[in-house]
């Protein structure tokens, strides 16, 4: 192998020169904070591109062997990466970096019809109507006693604030709740130690309730909110309460544990209360805050009737487990708690400078701030915080919320960590690992002594990093995954838009060792991982046909057929290797709406069928074994339209097709549906097929037509 790192100093510097004289930097003076903030990362990026991590380093070790998962073998970990602006979650195996699945959450997904078929459309309903996209940032596994338990995965939608729950026996989105009185649901869906609550904090202060006011009245009218969503019962996610906060931007959060159990920590920036040119105006204060919320105290105040009920419109969507049809309910109020109505529920911990991440170590004693513009990594102490609260070591208050003295809560600062600390995860040996966005590196340091132990360059501009279990009480350690915002020269170029890049490190030794690069979809922000054995054996392989309660289920071909109700035609169809029944349908007229309800009657793992009909304004549907899915089709002109199975299911998959005939309005062709000779012969050869009646073709259908009438 003769590959060498390509050096991008030239091109990056040219880029830097161009933008430093006009464009982006126009309004700012050279040498201003804003200028530096842009210039420094650009230069460092260029240096990093010419720097360490050469292939020679990798080849000298046995990196390849350590990520090689032989054919037929399984990966050790499932890693769940947020899909960022893809709206999805992607599942990778580690250490191989193999993509196992995309789970659609807030986005329509043509690959399996999520958000296109009638059963799942309600999942994307919101108070704004159907919202078929969102921006997912943080995956969060459910926990028992502070340890990921493999039941569910939560993920937030930032743009139209929502939280989704994915069931990890099926890798399917089962529930979505919208968050009212919020905007930019970014600090979400971080979880408490026994999955009591997932949270969502507001990133963009707005009027609460959101009414029409001049934006110049920001200081008087804009507010923040922290939302606590009950999350420990499937299908019953519920907004327990919201806390009304000053109009800062709340960026990230984490629950406490051990000495900080019962607390939730949220970073804030823009304590300047700027509403324009935030880049400059929200970066003035030397310190912003970490808000410490005593959620048990807040919970008690709410139980005590101290929260006010206020009108709010938001939706709760969930999948009915017997029909597998999503339901959507509009909710109309929330309980809003003001911190002043519940003394002791909220405190501010001063934290330098527009902090981003807030991460709690496995013991629960240390609360690490990611001061993205700070020169240190500040670490607060839970014990000191509790003592400071008891001693009232306050430094004033803001809107009735006491500010604790920085020196009274600070455990220590990591000095000279690098530039742009964002996020920290932990191993099981008392070490912390912080991502450095600007200096493009991971910095490993020791909890308690704050000394830096190791640095590893990443390519390039790392956002989050992830260690399996690395934000929990018991990290599994072993690997660290860096998720990088800029990919540049890491892979074969693919035009102007490149995949994002993840990098896997071995962290089992003193020194981090880069093992693998792999491309990722959308823009993963956070990820979480857990040992595969926690969920591998619990996978649902197919749905029981006997338990399928879908109103249009057909369990046998004898139950299949068509019926008409006014202009709606319902096709109840069987999909089985290798035909549809019925597969010849006539008597549809332009002006009708056809609902194809297709049941995959197979009861065998991994035997899927798909369905598509020519000219449909929709995506295909995929039916898992034992499942019924519905495609809505509005034919637009007369003719004969083929439909076919889209998932290569058997040797005769190509034969798995049929025709539907569409006639002009009023043409009076009787509604009929039949099983083709071909399918009938194949089945009878297989010794399984029993025709519904002796006369075959138009047998059961005319009866249905007569029932439905016109």
Q: Which of 405, 289, 288, 385 is nearest to 344 (CA)?
A: 385
Interaction between residue 647 and ligand CUA (CB under 6 A): yes
CB closer to ligand RUQ, 117 vs 139? 139
Pairing state of beta strands 568-576 and 579-581?
antiparallel
CB closer to ligand RUQ, 82 vs 317? 82
Among residues 168, 292, 422, 623, the one that binds ligand RUQ under rule CB under 6 A: 422
Interaction between residue 154 and ligand RUQ (CB under 6 A): no
In angstroms, what CA-CA distances link 302 with 40, 244, 482, 598? 47, 13, 40, 47
Using CB under 6 A as the binding rule, the residues of this chain from 489 to 528 that contact ligand RUQ are 525-526
CB closer to ligand CUA, 359 vs 647? 647
Structure letter (DSSP) for residue 73: P
Interaction between residue 629 and ligand CUA (CB under 6 A): no
Among residues 649, 673, 701, 704, the one that binds ligand CUA under rule CB under 6 A: 649
Using CB under 6 A as the binding rule, the residues of this chain from 175 to 234 that contact ligand RUQ are 186
Out of ligand CUA, ligand RUQ, none, what residue 165 binds, judged by CB under 5 to 8 A for its kind, is: none
Other Cβ atoms within 10 Å of 141 Cβ, number: 26
CB closer to ligand CUA, 76 vs 602? 602
Out of ligand RUQ, ligand CUA, none, what residue 570 binds, judged by CB under 5 to 8 A for its kind, is: none
Site string for ligand RUQ, 249-278 (x = CB under 6 A): ---x--------------------------
Residue nearest to ligand RUQ (CB): 463
Interaction between residue 372 and ligand RUQ (CB under 6 A): no
Interaction between residue 244 and ligand CUA (CB under 6 A): no
CB 550 within 8 A of CB 323: yes
Interaction between residue 506 and ligand CUA (CB under 6 A): no
CB of residue 554 vs ligand CUA: minimum separation in angstroms? 16
C-alpha span between 497 and 484 (Å, rounded): 14
Q: Which of 290, 259, 454 is nearest to 361 (CA)?
A: 259
Out of ligand CUA, ligand RUQ, none, what residue 653 binds, judged by CB under 5 to 8 A for its kind, is: ligand CUA
Place of tokens 């049941």: 599
Using CB under 6 A as the binding rule, the residues of this chain from 127 to 146 that contact ligand RUQ are 137-138
E strand map for 549-605: 561-565, 568-576, 579-581, 584-589, 593-600
CB closer to ligand RUQ, 162 vs 186? 186
In angstroms, what CA-CA distances link 347 with 130, 350, 395? 38, 10, 11
Interaction between residue 162 and ligand RUQ (CB under 6 A): no
CB of residue 571 vs ligand CUA: minimum separation in angstroms? 16
Pairing state of beta strands 326-337 and 238-246?
parallel
Written as one string, the DSSP assignment of 241-286 is: EEEEEES-EEEEEEE--GGGTTEEEEEEE-TT---S-HHHHTT-SS
Out of ligand RUQ, ligand CUA, none, what residue 656 binds, judged by CB under 5 to 8 A for its kind, is: ligand CUA
CB closer to ligand RUQ, 313 vs 485? 485
Interaction between residue 641 and ligand RUQ (CB under 6 A): no
Interaction between residue 648 and ligand CUA (CB under 6 A): yes
CB 203 within 8 A of CB 158: yes
- Going 361 to 366 to 372 to 377, the CA torsion angle's sign is negative
Q: Which of 570, 619, 577 is nearest to 596 (CA)?
A: 570
Pairing state of beta strands 136-144 and 346-352?
unpaired
Candidates 265-273, 330-338, 431-439, 644-652; binding stretch for ligand CUA (CB under 6 A) = 644-652
Measured between its terminal Cα atoms, the distance across the chain in Å is 73
E strand map for 281-339: 287-294, 308-319, 326-337
Interaction between residue 230 and ligand CUA (CB under 6 A): no
Q: What angle do CA 319, 322, 323 make, to 5 degrees?
A: 70
Among residues 162, 165, 254, 356, the one that binds ligand RUQ under rule CB under 6 A: 356
What is the H or E stretch that residue 654 is in? none
CB 345 within 8 A of CB 275: no
Interaction between residue 574 and ligand CUA (CB under 6 A): no
Using CB under 6 A as the binding rule, the residues of this chain from 11 to 70 that contact ligand RUQ are none
Out of ligand CUA, ligand RUQ, none, what residue 356 binds, judged by CB under 5 to 8 A for its kind, is: ligand RUQ
Q: What angle do CA 45, 99, 63 make, to 5 degrees?
A: 60
Interaction between residue 656 and ligand CUA (CB under 6 A): yes
Using CB under 6 A as the binding rule, the residues of this chain from 600 to 619 that contact ligand CUA are 609
Out of ligand CUA, ligand RUQ, none, what residue 609 binds, judged by CB under 5 to 8 A for its kind, is: ligand CUA
Other Cβ atoms within 10 Å of 498 Cβ, number: 16
Out of ligand CUA, ligand RUQ, none, what residue 37 binds, judged by CB under 5 to 8 A for its kind, is: none
Out of ligand CUA, ligand RUQ, none, what residue 649 binds, judged by CB under 5 to 8 A for its kind, is: ligand CUA
What is the H or E stretch that residue 155 is in? strand 147-157
Interaction between residue 678 and ligand CUA (CB under 6 A): no
C-alpha span between 492 and 501 (Å, rounded): 12
Binding-site ranges for ligand RUQ (CB under 6 A): 137-138, 186, 252, 356, 422-423, 463-464, 525-526
Binding-site ranges for ligand CUA (CB under 6 A): 609, 645, 647-649, 653, 656
């Amino acid at each position: 192998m003769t590959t060498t790192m390509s050096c991008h100093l030239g091109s990056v510097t040219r880029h830097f020169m161009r933008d430093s004289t006009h464009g982006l930097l126009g309004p700012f003076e050279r040498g201003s904070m804003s200028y530096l903030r842009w210039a420094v990362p650009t230069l460092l990026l260029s240096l990093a591109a010419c720097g360490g991590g050469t292939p020679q380093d990798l080849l000298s070790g046995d990196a390849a062997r350590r990520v090689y998962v032989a054919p037929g073998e399984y990966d050790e970990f499932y890693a769940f990466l947020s899909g960022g602006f893809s709206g999805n979650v992607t599942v990778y195996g580690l250490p191989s970096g193999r993509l196992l699945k995309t789970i659609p959450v807030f986005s329509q997904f043509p690959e399996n019809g999520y958000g296109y078929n009638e059963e799942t459309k309600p999942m994307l309903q919101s108070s704004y109507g159907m919202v078929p996209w969102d921006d997912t940032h943080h995956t969060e596994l459910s926990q028992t006693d502070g340890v990921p338990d493999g039941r569910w995965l939560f993920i937030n939608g930032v743009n139209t604030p929502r939280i989704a729950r994915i069931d990890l026996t099926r890798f399917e989105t089962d529930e979505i709740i919208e968050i009212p009185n919020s905007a930019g649901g970014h600090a979400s869906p971080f979880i408490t130690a026994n999955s009591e609550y997932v949270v969502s904090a507001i990133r963009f202060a707005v009027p609460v309730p959101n009414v029409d006011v001049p934006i110049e009245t920001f200081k008087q009218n804009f507010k923040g909110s922290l939302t606590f969503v009950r999350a420990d019962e499937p299908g019953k996610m519920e907004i327990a309460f919201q806390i009304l906060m000053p109009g800062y931007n709340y960026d990230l959060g984490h629950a406490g544990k051990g000495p900080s159990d019962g607390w939730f920590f949220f970073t804030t920036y823009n304590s300047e209360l700027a509403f324009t040119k935030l880049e400059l105006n929200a970066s003035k204060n030397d310190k912003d805050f970490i808000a410490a919320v005593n959620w048990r105290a807040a919970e008690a105040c709410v139980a005590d009737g101290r929260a006010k009920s206020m009108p709010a419109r938001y939706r709760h969507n969930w999948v009915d487990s017997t029909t597998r049809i999503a339901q959507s309910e509009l909710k109309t109020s929330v309980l809003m708690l003001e911190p002043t109505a519940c003394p002791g529920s909220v405190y501010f911990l001063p934290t330098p400078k527009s902090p981003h991440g807030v991460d709690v170590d496995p013991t629960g004693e240390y609360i690490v701030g990611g001061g993205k513009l700070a020169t240190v990594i500040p670490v607060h102490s839970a014990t000191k915080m509790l003592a400071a609260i008891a001693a009232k070591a306050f430094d004033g208050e803001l809107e009735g919320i006491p500010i604790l003295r920085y020196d009274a809560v600070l455990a220590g600062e990591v000095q000279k960590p690098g530039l742009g600390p964002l996020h920290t995860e932990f191993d099981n040996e008392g070490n912390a690992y912080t991502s450095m966005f600007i200096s493009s590196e991971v910095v490993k340091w020791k909890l308690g002594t704050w000394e830096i132990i190791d640095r590893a360059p990443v390519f390039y501009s790392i956002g989050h990093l992830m260690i399996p279990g690395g934000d929990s009480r018991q990290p599994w350690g072993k690997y660290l995954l860096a998720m990088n915002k800029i990919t540049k020269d890491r892979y074969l170029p693919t035009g102007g838009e490149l995949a994002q890049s993840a990098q896997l490190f071995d962290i089992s030794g003193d020194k981090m060792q880069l093992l693998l690069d792999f491309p990722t979809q959308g823009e993963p922000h956070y990820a979480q991982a857990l040992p595969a054995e926690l969920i591998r054996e619990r996978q649902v392989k197919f749905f029981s046909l006997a338990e399928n309660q879908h109103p249009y289920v057909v369990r046998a071909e004898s139950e299949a057929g068509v019926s008409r109700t006014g202009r709606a035609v319902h096709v109840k169809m069987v999909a089985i290797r290798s035909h549809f029944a019925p597969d010849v349908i006539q008597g549809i007229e332009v002006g009708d709406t056809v609902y194809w309800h297709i049941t995959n009657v197979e009861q065998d793992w991994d035997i899927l069928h798909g369905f598509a009909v020519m000219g449909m304004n929709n995506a295909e549907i995929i039916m898992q074994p034992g499942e019924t899915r519905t495609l809505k089709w509005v034919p637009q002109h007369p003719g004969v339209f083929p439909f076919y199975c889209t998932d290569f299911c058997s040797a005769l998959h190509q034969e798995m097709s049929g025709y539907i005939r569409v006639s002009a309005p009023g043409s009076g062709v009787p509604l009929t549906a039949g099983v083709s000779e071909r399918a009938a012969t194949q089945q009878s050869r297989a010794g399984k097929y029993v025709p519904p009646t002796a006369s075959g073709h138009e047998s059961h259908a005319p009866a249905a037509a007569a029932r439905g009438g016109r």
